[in-house]
Each structure stands twice: as structure tokens, then as C-alpha cells.
Amino acid sequence: MILDCAIIGGGPAGLTAGLYTTRGGLENVTMFEKGMPGGQIMNSSEIENYPGVTGEITGMDLMMPWPEQCQKFGLKHEMVNIVRVTKSNDIFTIHKEDGTTVQAHSVIIGTGSSPRRVGFSGEDEFFGKGVSTCATCDGFFYKGKEVAVIGGGDTALEEALYLAKICSKVYLVHRRDTFRAAPNTVARIKRTENIELVLNSSPDEVYGDAMGVTGLRVKNNDGETRDITVPGVFTFVGNDVNNQTLIQEDGSFLCDMNKAGEVIVDISMRTSVDGLFATGDMRIAAPKQVVSAAGDGAVAALQAISYVDEKLN
Ligand code: FAD
Ligand code: NAP
């Protein structure tokens, strides 16, 4: 059987594409998601800018009902890592990690992005042993203790605020003296008493022992170092686009990409390859928001329905 549409990635973009393709009449649609559906927002301790959501809710609270809503309209979900998407004779082939393949008339890809490593000494060695990229997952381990947060964007500041509620103190280490995060979030940081700003400073080394991290050495822009005694270091320095599934055997990409590795799309989420649509954080000029990723998923789904209709009828 050839799928009408294969959806790669089950974040807000992929799930919304699943909802709209199935509800819009495509019969055989499978969403391939390597983990639990919901995407990276599942790691967020708080979301306050999704329309209609007022109370204090976590990313997981927001995303939990989405898969069930899609399944109601017939979306199938397979938990598998997709290693490659190829196209020949007008048919896409989805290559799964176990070596098997599935064919599809159209593909909507929304594999999102992953946390970037900062690059300081000890970061890899202590990853999972005191160095973390997820406050909701690991913050509780540092209840009543001091931690450091690296970064100056929305993620770093929001997660610093979350950690400040659990931990006795949060050192917010940022390489400049102004923040990229939303002004409202910066204001909240500044009035939180147990957050100390360590500005114009970058992490130099994280160190520890067999039990885990014991401290972080930071260096300021004048070259002076400071040791911060903490058992936990949370890094939030942006994300890299997950574009690996589009890399072909000869190393080229299946469709046109920009220099940052983001998929080039038009306003209908069409890529340079007919029948292939890219959505959410992985596409050019993405606002990197749940609401925009969901919007992309809906746009791509409507396009995929027209594409498949035209192709098969
Ligand atoms: P993702 O959410 O990244 O989902 C991609 C999915 O694809 C993942 O589930 C992944 O497992 C899957 N996948 C990847 N590769 C493969 C593969 N090869 N095979 C199968 N599956 C694969 N946005 C807001 O609007 N408001 C906020 O408050 C907010 N807070 C945030 C807090 C944090 C801590 C983070 C990290 C992000 C936050 N964002 C927020 C941004 C928001 O989460 C993203 O913009 C959004 O999730 C992007 O959705 P997406 O579907 O494009 O990708
Ligand atoms: P980001 O906006 O790219 O910010 C990354 C931060 O890390 C920047 O402050 C950057 O410093 C710093 N940084 C990068 N590399 C570094 C290095 N090697 N050493 C030290 N510091 C480094 O990433 P993000 O905060 O994860 O946000 C990603 C996107 O998701 C953004 O578009 C954001 O708006 C969105 N998002 C939105 C919300 C929300 O709407 N509530 C919440 C979370 C995320 P510089 O500032 O000096 O470059």
C-alpha cells in the first residue's frame, strides 16, 4: 500500500498536519514519531502564549490531548526513527531505522530542532550527570540547591524562572549584558530575588567528581574567571534544525535548503520538491512558536490534500 501522506515528526506541526489531512479526507496517513508525540514543548515548564490558554500550564499539559484528537479522525501513529526520505518515479520512500521502508504519495516533514551544546570543557563528560538541557526533567534533582543557567534567550530565562521556584538560587550566566528574551520575561527575571545575573560571562569549564558536577568556572569578557559552586548546570543556547532525514546517500539534500540547514519553503509550505512540504521550526524564517508550527501543519496539510487529489484523480 502507498500512503496518501507520510508525516515525519509528531510535534505541534506534525500533529496538526495529521489532524487536517485526516479530517480533510486523506485516507491513509501515518505519522512517524521517534518518541512520545508532542515535540520539544513537552520539556517546557510553562506556556503562556498559546491562544486561549490562560491558567498556568506546562508544555505537556498543552500537548497531551493532541494525539487523541488526531486518532479520532484516523491518523495512524508509528513510533520509529526515520533515517531518510527519498523520491523516485513520483513516489516517496520513507526509510525506517530498522531497515524497512514505506511508500507515500506526499510527505509533510516537521522534525523540529534539538538543543545545541555550548562547547565548554566538561560539557559532554558531565552531560546527564549535572549538565542538562531540560529544567522540567531534571530541576527537581536540585530542590533546595543552587544551580547555574547558561543563555540569554526566551528558553534560558523562562527555565531560570522555573528553577528559581525549586532551587535556593539560580546563577544566570549570559555572554552579553542585554537579553534576547521577551521584555516581560526579562522584567520577571530582574525582580526575582534568588536569581543572580552573571553577565558578560561565558562558561569555561564544568568540573566535578564521580558523583557528578561540583562547580562551573566562568570567564568574563575581560578574561577574569570566577568559580560558581553548583551541582547542576542547565544550558539553553538555542537549537539546531533536525534535517538529517533529508540527506541523501550522496550527501546532498532532497530539497533546497539555506546555509543554516533550514528547509526553503514558500508561503504554502511547499519545498522545491513536488509533494514534499516542510513545517515548523525546521523551515526558513520560522517564528519558532507552537502556534506557528501548528499553523504550518494546517497549511501543509491543505496543500497535501490538493496535491494528492490532483495526482490520483
Ligand atoms: P518539534 O516540537 O521539535 O517536534 C519535532 C518532532 O519530530 C519531535 O517530537 C521529534 O522527536 C520528532 N523527530 C525528529 N526527528 C525525527 C526522526 N528522524 N524520525 C521521527 N521523528 C523525529 N514556543 C511557544 O510558542 N511558547 C513557549 O512558551 C515555548 N517555550 C519553549 C520552551 C522550551 C524549553 C523549548 C525547547 C521550546 C519552547 N517553545 C515555545 C518553542 C516550541 O516548542 C517550538 O517552536 C515547537 O515545538 C516547534 O514545533 P515543531 O513541530 O516544528 O517541532
Ligand atoms: P535563542 O533565542 O537562539 O537564544 C540563545 C541564547 O544563547 C542567546 O542569548 C545566545 O547569546 C546564547 N548563546 C548561544 N550560543 C552560545 C554560546 N556558545 N555560549 C554562550 N551563550 C550562547 O534560543 P532559545 O532561547 O532556545 O529560543 C529559540 C526560539 O524559540 C526563539 O525564537 C524563541 O523566541 C523561541 N521561544 C519562545 C518562547 C516563548 O515565546 N515564550 C519560549 C522559548 C523559546 P546571544 O544573545 O549573545 O546571541
Q: In the listed set 235, 260, 295, which residue is the last one of a domain according to the structure?
A: 235
Asked if residue 299 and residue 157 are part of one domain, the reply reads no
d(Cα 111, Cα 278) in Å, to the nearest integer?
A: 9
Residue 179: which domain range?
131-235
Residue 195 lies in a domain: yes
Query: CA nearest 233: which of 177, 175, 170, 164?
Result: 170
All cell numbers assigned to 66: 493532541
pLDDT of residue 32: 98
Q: In the listed set 171, 206, 235, which residue is the last one of a domain according to the structure?
A: 235
d(Cα 41, Cα 49) in Å, to the nearest integer?
A: 12
pLDDT of residue 128: 83
pLDDT of residue 9: 98
- Counting ligands in written order, the one closest to the CA of 94 is 1
Asked if residue 244 and residue 231 are part of one domain, the reply reads no
**The pairing of beta strand 232-235 with beta strand 146-150:** parallel
CA 124, chain centre distance (Å) = 20
pLDDT in tens, 151-196: 999 999 999 999 999 999 999 999 999 999 999 999 999 999 999 9
Residues with CB under 6 A from ligand 1: 8-14, 32-35, 39-41, 43-44, 47, 49, 81-82, 110-113, 155, 242, 245, 280-281, 288-291, 293
Asked if residue 268 and residue 217 are part of one domain, the reply reads no
Helices (H) and strands (E) in the chain, counts: 7, 17
Q: In the listed set 219, 235, 251, which residue is the last one of a domain according to the structure?
A: 235
The response to whether residue 185 sits with its C-beta less than 6 Å from ligand 2 reads no
pLDDT of residue 56: 83
Residue whose CB lies within 8 A of the most ligand 2 atoms, among 42, 57, 118, 155, for a mutation test = 155
Region for 183 from its dihedrals, namely left if φ exceeds 0, alpha if ψ lies in -120 to 50, beta otherwise: alpha
The response to whether residue 280 sits with its C-beta less than 6 Å from ligand 2 reads no
Asked if residue 91 and residue 153 are part of one domain, the reply reads no
Residue 124 lies in a domain: no
The response to whether residue 155 sits with its C-beta less than 6 Å from ligand 2 reads yes
Strand positions, DSSP E, the chain: 2-8, 29-33, 76-79, 82-88, 91-96, 101-109, 113-115, 131-132, 146-150, 169-173, 195-198, 201-209, 212-220, 225-228, 232-235, 239-241, 276-278
pLDDT of residue 138: 86
The response to whether residue 152 sits with its C-beta less than 6 Å from ligand 2 reads yes
Our count of domains for the chain comes to 2
pLDDT of residue 2: 98
Residue 294 lies in a domain: yes
Residue 125 lies in a domain: no
Asked if residue 219 and residue 157 are part of one domain, the reply reads yes
All cell numbers assigned to 13: 506541526
Asked if residue 198 and residue 222 are part of one domain, the reply reads yes
The response to whether residue 77 sits with its C-beta less than 6 Å from ligand 2 reads no
71 neighbors 47 (Cβ within 8 angstroms): no
Q: What is the CATH number of the domain that holds 204?
A: 3.50.50.60
Asked if residue 202 and residue 303 are part of one domain, the reply reads no
Residue of the nearest CA to atom 2 in ligand 2? Answer: 153
Instruction: Give the nearest ligand 2 atom to 116 CA.
Output: 15
Residue 289 lies in a domain: yes
All cell numbers assigned to 103: 511508500
**Block mean pLDDT (10 aa), the chain, length 313:** 98 98 97 96 84 90 97 97 97 98 98 95 93 88 97 96 97 98 97 98 97 97 97 95 97 96 98 98 93 98 98 92
Residue 126 lies in a domain: no
Asked if residue 97 and residue 51 are part of one domain, the reply reads yes
pLDDT of residue 137: 78
Please state the length of the chain: 313
Host H or E run for residue 212 = strand 212-220
All cell numbers assigned to 155: 528558553
Residue 15 lies in a domain: yes
123 neighbors 117 (Cβ within 8 angstroms): yes
For the chain, what is the mean pLDDT? 96
Residue of the nearest CA to atom 11 in ligand 2? Answer: 152
The one-letter amino acid code at 212 reads G
* pTM of this structure: 0.84
Asked if residue 228 and residue 258 are part of one domain, the reply reads no
All cell numbers assigned to 167: 532551587
Asked if residue 108 and residue 80 are part of one domain, the reply reads yes
Q: Please tell me the distance between residue 148's alpha carbon and the centre of ligand 1 in angstroms.
A: 24
Asked if residue 276 and residue 206 are part of one domain, the reply reads no
10 neighbors 33 (Cβ within 8 angstroms): yes
All cell numbers assigned to 275: 509533494
Residue 244 lies in a domain: yes
pLDDT of residue 48: 82
* Cβ-Cβ contacts under 8 Å for 255 (sequence gap 6 or more): 246, 263, 264, 271, 272, 273, 276, 278
Asked if residue 107 and residue 75 are part of one domain, the reply reads yes
The one-letter amino acid code at 77 reads H
pLDDT of residue 188: 98
Site of grid cell 539553553: 236
d(Cα 113, Cα 288) in Å, to the nearest integer?
A: 9
- Counting ligands in written order, the one closest to the CA of 123 is 2
